[in-house]
Structure 1
Amino acid sequence: MPLSWLLERFAEHRDQDAVVWQDRATKYGELLDLVERANEFLAAEHVLPGQCVMLDADFSPGSIALLLAVMQNRNIIVPVARQVTADRDKYAQLAEVSHRLSVDENDQYTRTADAATEVTHPLLVELKESGSPGLVLFSSGSTGEPKAAVHNLDFLLNKFKMPRHSQRMITFLLFDHIGGFNTMMYTLSNHGCVITVTSRDAATICRAVEQHRAEVLPTSPTFLNLLLVSGEHEKHDLSSLKIINYATEVMPPATLRRLNDAFPGVTFRQSYGMTELGIMRTQSRSNDSVWIRVGGEDYQTRIVDGILHIKAKSSMLGYLNAPSPFDDEGWFNTQDEVEVDGEWLRFKGRKSEIINVGGEKVYPAEVETVLMEDSNVADATVTKEPHAIMGNIVVAELTLHEEEPLSDVIKRVRQHCFTKLPSYKIPVKIRLSDATSRMSERFKKQRTKSE
C-alpha cells in the first residue's frame, strides 16, 4: 500500500494529538479510524484506482483522512481549497475528473458530481498504468491561465519517510497549495500536530498559536507584514512559537528586521519551493538575512544568466495544459532572478514581474525595500503604468502606520529614494491604500490586476 509506512507511524503514536480542528484535538488513533471511514466512503461511491478525484475542502480531520484514503486507493487527486474562487468545472474537465467530492463545514463527505470520465491524457494514463497515486495542482495564474501540474505522489512523498523533528504546526498555506500539502505531510509523518484555522486573518492565527501552543508558522511575507500592522501579536501569548517559515515571494529586509524585533527568540527561515518541483530544504545565512542556501539530497541547482535552474527527483511529470518546461537534461527554469555570493543566493524577483523603464530593469521588491525604510510606511506595493515615451513608469501604493497628508509622504519618501535608487527606479506616482487591498486569496502580494 502506498501509505503503509505512514499509517504504521500513526498506530505507534495513537494517543498523541494529530489534528486540532474547531479547538478539539483528534488523536492519531482516531485519525486511523477516520481513514478507514473514508475508505468505506470511497468504496460506496465506486471510486476506482487510477481515476481522477476532485476534493473540495479545507484542512480538517475528515478532509485529511479522505485525502490519505484517496492516496491509499491509488487515485489521482485534484485538491481545491474551499476558499479559492476557482472555476471548478473547468478544473474538473481539464483534469478528467471522475468523482467530485467535498467535505462540508461539519466535516461530512458528499459527492457533488460524478462525470464517470476515463483518463486519456498521456500523463494521467502513465500514472494509472504505473499504479501510483497522483496529484494535480493548479498554479495561481498570476501570469496567465493557471497551469495544471501533474505529480507522481510516490516521488513527492519519498522525502517524508526520513524521520525528522516532531512539531505542532499551523496550516496557514491552503489545502491545494504545494506548501500546504508539504506542511501536512511533514507534520503527520513525524507524529506532530496539524493545527487548523477557521480563517487566516492575524487575530485568528494568533489565537490558534496561543491556545494550541503552536511551534511552527509557515506563511508568506505579505501576511507577516499584515500581522505587524495589525498589532495582534502584542495581544496574545505567542511564546510557544519557535520557527516562522516564510516563502512564496520576496521578503523585504525592512520587514524581516521588524519581525526579528517583534519576535525575539524565534528562528526565521526562508523556504523555497514551486508547484512544479515540491519544497526544497533551505538554510538562511542568519536570522535577519534574506540570503539562503537551497538544495538537499534530491535537488541540484545552477545559475544561468542570473536565473535559478533546478533539477529535482520530486519534479512533476509535466503540465496537462502546457508544453513541458524541462530541458533535455531535466533542468527547470524557475524564472527567479538571483544574486550570488558563493553558495548563498538572494532572490531579486520573478522575471515576469520586472518593470521595463526606458530599457532599464526595475525589480519591484528592491524599490519596496527602500520605501519600507521610512518609519511611517507599514507596507509598499510597487506596480507599473504604461508610458508613451518610457514604456512604463513605476507606481507605488503605500500603507501608513499613522495618518498624514499624502503630499508630506510623497516629498519625504521620494527624497529618501533619491539617496538609494537611480532615478528610473523612483516611483513617479505614489498613492495610499489599505494593505489588504493588494493581497491575493493565497496571501501573496498582487502586483497586477490579473492576479
Structure 2
Amino acid sequence: MKRLVDHVATRSGTDRVFVDDRLELKGGSLIEVVERTRAEHSVFRGSSVGVCFSRGYETALALVALDGFAEQLLIVPPTSKPARVREFIDRTDTEFILGNRENLRTGGLRQYDIRNLCGLNGGLTQKEDDGNAGDRGTVCDTEWILATSGTTGTPKLVAHDLSSLLRTVKTDTKVGHTLRWGLLYDLCRFAGIQVFLQSLVGGSTLIFADHVESIDEQVNLLLSGNCNALSGTPTMWRRLLMSDQFENLSLRIATLGGEIADGQILKALQRTFPEAKISHIYASTEAGVGFSVSDGQPGFPATFLENPPEETEIKVSDEGLLHLRPPQPEQERYVEEGLTLTDGEGWINTGDVVERSGDRFLFQGRESGVINVGGNKVHPEKVENVIQEVEGVAQVVVRAKKSAITGNLVEALVKPSGNVEGEQELRSAVRERCNADLNNYEVPAVCKVVSSLEMNAAGKLVR
C-alpha cells in the first residue's frame, strides 16, 4: 500500500500541496521536508511518536513525514490541556513528542519542532522534481491513534491503520487536481483527518483556515486560495453564511458532518451554491466514515439498510440505535485494554438514535445526550431542529436545566439573526412553534435570547 509521501511523489514538484496565510508548500518542498525529518531524526523509525502542534499546517507536515516511518502516531488535539496530553502519552507508551506547544507535561520526553527542523521559519528553497525522493521505503504499517471528543466523559483513544482511514477517499487525481479544499476542522480530529487525506491522496490543494477565529478572516483566506471544496459542521456552515463575502466562493463540493444536518441548513446551502454537490456525511472516530447522503434531505433513505452506499453495513436496533459494520472491523480498535469497539459480529454501536419516518430514518440525537424531564426522554437536537425553523433564529442550543420538581427542565438559548426587532417577539414565536410541533414535556420551559453561542474545537455547539 502507498504511504502518504508516495502519493506526494507522484505529483509535479511545483504542485501546490498545502497553503495557509503565511506559507505555501509545493510537492518538491514537501518531499524535502520528509527527507530531512527522516534523515536527521532516524530515532523516529519504528517508534511511537506523539504529534502535538498548534496549527494544522504543521501537523500535516508531520503526518506525511512519519507515516510508514514511525510505528505509531499519537495525534493530540491542540486544545488538549497539559494533564490530558500527559495522560495520552502514558496510555500509549509514546517515546517522542513532535510539537511546538509550551508547558506540555511530557514526563521528561524531549519535544522536537518540525518547523525548525525543516527550515520552515525561514522558508524552503524550492527543490526541482528529479523523480528521486530519497528513502521513502515503508518500514512499517503506521498505526494512527485519534482521540474521541470526550463530550460525555474521558476521551477514548481509537487506533486506525491508513487503509481504514482511506476507505472512502476518492482517488481520481484528474478530478482532484482541480479541487482546492478548505480546512476548517481541527486536523487532529477524525473529520479534519478525512479532509486532509482526501486533499492529499486526491491530488488537490489544501487551504488551512483552521487556526483563524474570525468568520470574515476565514472567508477571506478561503477566497484568496480560490477554495472550491469545503467541509464543516452545520454550526460552522451557519456561521459562514452570516458573512457577506461567503457567497462569493465558487463551491463545487460542500459537505456537512459532526452534527445533525437539518432541512434548513441543507436548503440554505442549496440556495447559496446551486451548482455545488452538497452531501452530509455520517462518520465517527470509532467507526470511520459510514455513509454519505446527497439527495438534499435530512436523515438517510431506509433502503440504506439493505443496500448501503459504501462498504460499511448499516442496521438499526429495536431501541432505535444506529449500528455500523465496517468491511474489516479489525482495522479499528480501542487502545485501552478491556474496551471493546465491536460486538461479536463486528457491529459498532454508534450511540446515535434514529427514528423511521416514511421511507427515511431521521436522526434524533445522541443516546447519552437525552434530557430526562420527569421520566420523559427529550432529545435536544429534535427541539433545536424545530426552533431553527423559526424566522429570526440564527442558531440555537437546547440543554438541561436542573429542577427540584422534575429533575430537569428544557432550556433553549437562541441567537437571533440580524433582522430581529424585539427579543420578546422572538421568544413568543419560539414558544408558539414549539407548542405546535412538540410534546408538552419537550417544549422549553426557559428560552433565553443570547448574543453568541459557544463552539468547541470540533466545530460543534456546546451544550
Length-normalised TM-score, structure 1: 0.84
Find the counterpart in structure 2 of residue 199 from structure 1.
Answer: 212
Find the counterpart in structure 1 of residue 50 from structure 2.
Answer: 54
Measured after TM superposition, the shift of residue 342 of structure 1 is: 7.7
1:317 partner SS: strand
Aligned partners of 2:393 and 2:415 also within 8 Å: yes
2:95 partner SS: strand
Q: What CA deviation, in whole Å up to 9, does each residue of 1:368-413 have, x standing for no partner? A: 1221222121111111123333332111111112465543333332
Alignment of 1:329-344 (within 5 A): 329-340=345-356, 344=360
Aligned partners of 2:254 and 2:276 also within 8 Å: yes
Q: What CA deviation, in whole Å up to 9, does each residue of 1:131-187 have, x standing for no partner? A: 421111111111011111122334434655843640211111112111111111111
Distance across 1 between alignment mates of 2:215 and 2:337: 36
Distance across 1 between alignment mates of 2:401 and 2:105: 46
* Equivalent position amino acid for 1:265 in 2: E
1:206 partner SS: helix
The equivalent position to 1:211 in structure 2, one of 224, 246, 250, is: 224
Find the counterpart in structure 1 of residue 63 from structure 2.
Answer: 67
Matched-pair identity in %:
24
Instruction: Report the CA distance shift for 1:33/1:284 in structure 2 as closer, same or farther (over 3 A).
Output: same
The equivalent position to 1:170 in structure 2, one of 176, 182, 185, is: 182
Aligned partners of 2:196 and 2:206 also within 8 Å: yes
Q: In the alignment, does 2:152 pair up with 1:140?
A: no
Q: In the alignment, does 2:85 pair up with 1:76?
A: no
Find the counterpart in structure 1 of residue 259 from structure 2.
Answer: 249
Aligned partners of 1:147 and 1:321 also within 8 Å: no
Find the counterpart in structure 2 of residue 310 from structure 1.
Answer: 324
Measured after TM superposition, the shift of residue 207 of structure 1 is: 1.0
2:76 partner SS: strand
Instruction: Report the CA distance shift for 1:200/1:260 in structure 2 as closer, same or farther (over 3 A).
Output: farther
Distance across 2 between alignment mates of 1:342 and 1:182: 32
Instruction: Report the CA distance shift for 1:316/1:77 in structure 2 as closer, same or farther (over 3 A).
Output: same
Worse-superposed segment, 276-285 or 82-91: 82-91
Aligned partners of 1:101 and 1:111 also within 8 Å: no
1:205 partner SS: helix
Alignment of 1:252-267 (within 5 A): 252-267=262-277
Matched length:
420
Q: In the alignment, does 2:432 pair up with 1:415?
A: yes
Question: Runs of 5+ in structure 2 lacking a partner?
Answer: 111-138
Distance across 1 between alignment mates of 2:161 and 2:14: 32
1:435 partner SS: coil
Q: In the alignment, does 2:350 pair up with 1:353?
A: no
Worse-superposed segment, 3-12 or 326-335: 3-12
Measured after TM superposition, the shift of residue 446 of structure 1 is: 1.4
Measured after TM superposition, the shift of residue 113 of structure 1 is: 6.9
Measured after TM superposition, the shift of residue 215 of structure 1 is: 1.2
Aligned partners of 2:181 and 2:205 also within 8 Å: yes
Distance across 2 between alignment mates of 1:396 and 1:88: 34
Find the counterpart in structure 2 of residue 95 from structure 1.
Answer: 92
Aligned partners of 1:99 and 1:114 also within 8 Å: no
Aligned partners of 2:4 and 2:67 also within 8 Å: no
Question: Runs of 5+ in structure 1 lacking a partner?
Answer: 117-129
Distance across 1 between alignment mates of 2:208 and 2:363: 30
Find the counterpart in structure 1 of residue 132 from structure 2.
Answer: none
* Equivalent position amino acid for 2:439 in 1: P
Aligned partners of 1:3 and 1:71 also within 8 Å: no
* Equivalent position amino acid for 2:145 in 1: V
Find the counterpart in structure 1 of residue 395 from structure 2.
Answer: 379
Measured after TM superposition, the shift of residue 70 of structure 1 is: 1.5
* Equivalent position amino acid for 1:360 in 2: N
1:18 partner SS: strand
Aligned partners of 1:100 and 1:113 also within 8 Å: no
Aligned partners of 1:57 and 1:175 also within 8 Å: no
Instruction: Report the CA distance shift for 1:61/1:259 in structure 2 as closer, same or farther (over 3 A).
Output: closer
* Equivalent position amino acid for 1:325 in 2: L
Find the counterpart in structure 1 of residue 115 from structure 2.
Answer: none
Q: What CA deviation, in whole Å up to 9, does each residue of 1:101-122 have, x standing for no partner? A: 11579xxxx9977649xxxxxx
* Equivalent position amino acid for 2:66 in 1: V
Q: In the alignment, does 2:381 pair up with 1:369?
A: no
Q: What CA deviation, in whole Å up to 9, does each residue of 1:78-129 have, x standing for no partner? A: 1123344462112211221100111579xxxx9977649xxxxxxxxxxxxx
Find the counterpart in structure 2 of residue 389 from structure 1.
Answer: 405
Distance across 2 between alignment mates of 1:135 and 1:29: 25
Aligned partners of 1:169 and 1:215 also within 8 Å: yes
Distance across 2 between alignment mates of 1:345 and 1:10: 43
2:410 partner SS: strand
Measured after TM superposition, the shift of residue 309 of structure 1 is: 0.6
Distance across 1 between alignment mates of 2:427 and 2:250: 41
Find the counterpart in structure 2 of residue 291 from structure 1.
Answer: 299
